[in-house]
Structures are given as structure tokens and as C-alpha cells.
Amino acid sequence: MGLNLFVTQNDIDNGVRGSKTGCAIARAVSRLFGTSDVSVSTHKIFVGNKEYTPTPEVQQFIYDFDNGKPVRPRFFPSAK
């Protein structure tokens, strides 16, 4: 099962750079699954005991967000 993930402007504005549990992607994943049991890195996304591998586009977004580069709201289809 993949993740169809939408990162909102609110996720970006309120995300914490460099935080595995509070970055923009983590906020979007938390909203999608309705849980705060989320951890994000450029290589893996964990939701509870379930593990997903982010697509290259999600990895780039995480890198850019964490490094203070401009990011915009966007949809990421089927992150594995």
C-alpha cells in the first residue's frame, strides 16, 4: 500500500525543520492516518509499526524543507 500524501501550507508553516515527528511531511502523514505515532526521515516513513519508503520527490521535499529551501503545498501520489 502506498501513501497518497497532500502537504498543505499549514503543514509547511507549522512544521519543524529537522524534526522526524513534526516536519511538514510528518504533519501530513499524521493527518492522513489520524495518529501522532509518525516518524519521518529521507529514507523511511514509519506510522506505528508500518514502514513506507518515500518516493524521490518526497525525499527531495524533506531535504529542501529541512534545509530551509522554499517548498510549496503539493500532492505526492503513491509514496511506497
Task: Tell me the per-residue pLDDT of 18-31, one tens digit each, with 9 for 90 and over.
Answer: 999 999 999 999 99
Phi and psi torsions of 5, nearest 5°: -115, 130
34/48 Cα distance (integer angstroms) = 11
pLDDT tens across 40-58, in order?
999 999 999 999 999 999 9
Please say whether the dihedral angle defined by the alpha carbons of residues 29, 34, 39 and 45, taken in this order, is positive or negative.
Answer: negative
- Tell me what pLDDT residue 78 has: 75
- Identity (one letter) of the amino acid at 69? K
CA 50 to chain centre: 15
